[in-house]
Structure 1
Amino acid sequence: MGHSNLLSNLIETMPIPVSCSVTATPTLPTKPMPGTYGLPLVGPLKDRLDYFWFQGPETFFKARSAAYKSTVFRTNIPPTFFGVNPRVVAVLDCSSFSSLFDNTLIDKSDVLIGPYCPSPNFTGGTRVGVYLDTTDPKHSRIKNFCFDLLKRSSRVWISEFLLNLDALLTTAEADIASSGSSSLLVPLQKCIFNFLCKSLVGADPKVSPEIAENGFIMLDKWLAFQILPTQKIGVIPQPFEELLLHSFPFPSFLVSSDYKKLYEFVEKEGREVVKLAEDEYGLTKSDAINNILFVLGFNAFGGFSVFLPALITTVGRDKSGLRDRLRAEVRKVMADKTELDFKAVVEMEMVRSTVYEVLRMNPPVPLQYGRARSDFVVNSHESSYKVEKGELLCGYQPLVMRDPVVFDDPDTFMPDRFTGAKGKELLQYLFWSNGRETATPTAGDKQCAAKDFVVFTACMLVAQILNKYDDFECDDGNLAFSKLEKKTESVIV
């Protein structure tokens, strides 16, 4: 079949229920919000050291939730350097977290990665769409342009992804044959970068040897210098990580040369989509290119670079027989098909459920933020709490999507969790895309425009590997393939 139809048209055929509200009932008791910011300077510093050094992000939130006996509380969140207000209201259950999706309550201006916002110089001086609130007229124009980019990309999305994935797997086979393993991250990032350039920008990196060879590295550096003050790295020993990475914002000039090369690549090779943004959506040329680069580099490349390795290694390290179950489903679906496409993926319920469960356990963006437009009441499952105008809400999704009120055995990876009628009902509590999995992104919200593309691309990844190989394994300690067992074709005698 052709691949010109927009993915969302295919998704409409899936038996997914309409989202229902998880807002707590009005009869819940209103309680004083627990938590403390501590003494000036001392409190934020203590919380920063706990978050990055002594506890780590997950224990940081778990410990405070247990101490306060509440999934809603006040605390500080890093970074804590000059000019940043670290005070937040943590919302750690499905009910309270869902308030972040209510645009009447929540302002999303400059809160993508929390109380700290990188300099717009990282994006060529443009305040790109993800930093705009939904009330900003420019937000809807930029997001509609993103929808248009995705619609255009659907013509080549499948073919480019599978072409680059097959090249990665061929290289991995050779590496395993010669050395016993094949490192995954760098080849996967090259695969992601190449297919996204062709799909979203309509530009082939091969026209520029430097971009083809180093484009993904340029994006890695550009991403890193924006988010390092908010990330626990764990490679540099403490206290050096605190002193060198978490004590100040990094200046954009460290990556300005690389960004200029990427800008010029999009300007020259992506002329068609740049002109589309100018003519149809009223963006200036520079705003168009900077938004395209952000979608390409931060949203798509950055998100896939976190999520796809987690998906591959989760399946590749499994010892429960998951790969056998997935392979059986994939090959049953593909038995009467000549090619893998989106419609084939719709039939692979177990594959999709596995992808959803990886997203539940390891969301690509663990933290979501939003600022209260005015005073309002936030509801947990048990109580209500008053939030004051201007307060920043912070949701840590790895805990939110392990809410024991919603999910049975929430800390256990259950690949079939989202199968059947009960499993599909649970999709409304899957929030990885800054919205419900049962919702459809619009120009008036902040949900990931490519939400459905991400899920189906991940499903295609699993399906292609298991249709091509009888088995594969990943190293337990390294991000690498340790086995790729070629498919055995049946021979009729």
Structure 2
Amino acid sequence: MMITTASMALRPTLLLASTAASGGPPRAIPGSYGLPLLGPLKDRLDYFWFQGPDEFFRRRMAAHGSTVFRTNMPPTFPFFVGVDPRVVALLDCASFAALFDASLVDKRDVLIGPYTPSLAFTGGTRVAVYLDPSEPAHARVKSFCLDLLRRNARAWPSEFLRSLDAMLSAVESDMPSAGKPANFVLPLQKCIFSFLCRCMVGADPSADPTIAEFGFAMLDKWLALQLLPTQKVGVIPQPLEELLLHSFPFPFALVSGDYRKLYDFVDKHGGEVVRLAEAEYGLKKDEAINNILFVLGFNAFGGFSVFFPFLISSIGGDRSGLRAKLREEARRVLEAKELGFEAVREMELVRSAVYEVLRMKPPVPLQYGRARADFVLRSHDAAFQVAKGELLCGYQPAAMRDPRVFDDPDSFVPERFVGERGRALLQYLYWSNGPETGRPTTENKQCAAKDYVVDTACLLVAEMFRRYDDFQCDDGGLAFTKLDKATMAQVK
């Protein structure tokens, strides 16, 4: 369904008006946490087993008649000692925005909610994402990350395209003549790992054969052990998933050897980047390497590994004629410009489609913050009193489908962010832990590489249509069923 420009123009005004209308006296936040042990256990089983995350939040929102309510979030009983699962859920754009106000919320140790993995996973360092902007170390590390991105801005597109070429060549070689689907997940992860190592560590993985072959898998395991207690996996049947994956924190010992190999790789081959962190930002060597590995592995590799398959499958599975429009725009721009960041910033539909995938499938669905003091939280329709210390949990897939902001919110509408009125909606696109119109600084927790993520995703789409006349994905969205080589050899 297409969005009319008139309705899109009204959306920001409606949001501001409805938020202002909720300026009455605060009311009690609906919902409860249930009986000790039993309430959290019931919510955990609903979240992971009986309902799933989307339905879990949808049912409670309907039951309470509110986009703000109390509930429990995993992980919970029995072996998560000291973890308090009680949260205040925020499910609309108005209330969700409170999570970006540093004067209202504290972000220390709430990256994945009430549970924080052992510091051993980050070499004993509290890395930047677990720090609140009020902590002095946060400014040092984030400044280093922002500087690192600036220094690599020129090389970033070429390094990505170099790795993407290797990935697509590998997939093409796996495409059998009979048309059997060719899975792209592992080649894509190798592509992401390779280009990130060169851009962020300043080292080619081929310098270490073990890292070149297995580095991406090491990061996969390292990520999985930290996140499994909080994630619905769906690969193994219930109740085995509950018993084996959600009942206890996983020990770092299971990946300690891999982490040491990755640490040594950065230490040996990323000396220039480490020295930059030490000399200009006052980080100790181990702090620098542990932060580099976290940004590389968790923020960048982990984020791209989730987002890019969604992007490819959303476009490759479309049946509305979108691919022909994207191909036409990409090739028209590339007739005059070499493929790079400058070129893709002129591809309005490509960019809008990328934004729409980020709206529909945000790489990080949950954002958290703890109330610094008592304050009044406002949704579209009501005001609520939040007490100091309460943990706020924003579920982005619900907030980004807020019908008070987005027309036809549950549909994939690639043109949603096209034009002036479409761009006005970007202030409500929150995938980067802040509005898309915001700017990452040392005073906030917005993703330092947010602009690079969007530009890189646009590079991926543009290169697909420079290289292929068309491509399609299977129903699972993780394999190509069609790759028609381009007939336009003259395209740069």
Compute the displacement of 1:415 (Å).
0.2
- Does 2:111 correspond to 1:112? yes
From 12, 28, 32, the equivalent of 2:28 is 32
Equivalent of residue 70 in structure 1, options 53, 66, 76: 66
- Shift, 1:404, TM fit: 0.3
Listed as ranges, the gaps of 5+ residues in structure 2 are: 1-11
State the one-letter code of the partner of 1:55: Q
CA distance, structure 1, for counterparts of residue 240 and residue 171 of structure 2? 36
Q: Matched residue of 1:484: which SS?
A: strand
Q: Which residue of 2 aligns with 1:278?
A: 278
Return the alpha-carbon distance in structure 2 between the equivalents of residues 39 and 152 of structure 1: 53
- How far has the Cα of 1:172 moved from its partner? 1.5
Q: Is 1:230 matched with 2:226?
A: no
CA distance in structure 1 between the partners assigned to 2:53 and 2:125 by the alignment: 31
Offset of 1:316 from its aligned partner?
0.4
d(CA) in 2 for partners of 1:490, 1:225:
45
Contact 2:158 2:340 in 1 (8 A): no
1:368 aligns with 2:364: no
Moved over 4 A (4+): 19-23
Deviations 1:273-328 (A, max 9, x none): 00000000000000000000000000000000000010001000111100000001
- Provide the residue aligned with 1:388 in structure 2: 387
- Shift in CA distance, 172/68, structure 1 to aligned 2, threshold 3 Å: same
Give me the whole-angstrom Cα distance separating, in 1, the residues matched to 2:348 and 2:235. 38
Counterpart for residue 347 of structure 2: 348
* Residue 320 (1) aligns with residue 320 (2): yes
User: Which deviates more, 81-90 or 265-274?
Assistant: 81-90
Q: Is the 8 A contact 1:274 1:289 kept in 2?
A: yes
Paired with 2:436 and 2:336, the residues of 1 have a C-alpha distance of 30
1:298 equivalent in structure 2: 298
- Tell me by how many angstroms 1:153 deviates: 1.6
CA distance in 2, matches of 1:194, 1:288: 20
Q: Please say if residues 317 and 477 of structure 2, whose CA atoms lie closer than 8 Å, have aligned partners that are also in contact.
A: no
Residue in structure 1 matching 2:51, options 32, 52, 55? 55
Change beyond 3 A, Cα 1:342–1:478: closer
Per-residue CA deviation, residues 380-415 of structure 1 (Å, 9 max, x unaligned), is 000000000000000000000000000001001100
CA distance in 2, matches of 1:490, 1:250: 51
| 2:175 counterpart SS class | helix
**1:75 alignment partner, SS class:** strand
- Distance in 1, matches of 2:487 and 2:468, equals 8
Pairwise CA RMSD: 1.4
Aligned to 1:4: none
Deviates more, 1:47-56 or 1:22-31: 22-31
Contact 1:141 1:281 in 2 (8 A): yes
In structure 2, the CA distance between the partners of 1:458 and 1:490, relative to structure 1 (3 Å rule), is closer
8 A Cα contact 1:28 1:382, kept in partner: no
The number of equivalent residue pairs is 472
Matches of 2:281 and 2:178, distance apart in 1? 51
SS at the partner of 2:188?
helix
Query: What is the distance in 2 between the residues matched to 1:276 and 1:490?
Result: 42
CA contact (8 A) 1:430 1:437 kept: yes
SS in structure 2 opposite 1:24? helix
For the 8 Å contact 2:23–2:378, the answer to whether it is kept is no
Contact 2:47 2:53 (C-alpha < 8 Å) held by counterparts: yes
Provide, for residues 51-87 of structure 1, a one-character-per-residue CA deviation record: whole Å limited to 9, x for no partner: 0000000100000000000000000001003221000
CA distance in 2, matches of 1:351, 1:28: 42
| 1:36 aligned partner, one-letter code | S
Deviations 1:107-127 (A, max 9, x none): 001000000000110010001
Aligned AA (1:236) = I
Task: Give me the TM-score of the superposition, normalised by structure 1.
Answer: 0.94
8 Å CA contact 2:329, 2:347 repeated in 1? yes
1:478–1:91 CA distance, 2 compared to 1 (3 A): closer
2:99 alignment counterpart: 100
What amino acid sits opposite 2:340 in the alignment? D
Counterparts of 1:489 and 1:241 in 2: how far apart (Å)? 49
Matched to 2:371, the amino acid is: A
Aligned residue in 2 for 1:15: none
The letter of the residue matching 1:271 is: G
- The CA distance in 2 between the partners of 1:354 and 1:371, in whole Å, is 33
Identity %: 67
SS of the residue aligned with 1:115?
coil
Structure 1 runs not aligned, ≥5 long: 1-18
The range that moved more, 169-178 or 384-393, is: 169-178
Aligned-partner Cα distance in 2 for 1:488–1:284? 53
Structure 2 counterpart of 1:323, which letter?
Answer: R
Shift of residue 168 of structure 1?
1.1
- Aligned positions of 1:88-237 closer than 5 A: 88-178=87-177, 180=179, 181-237=181-237
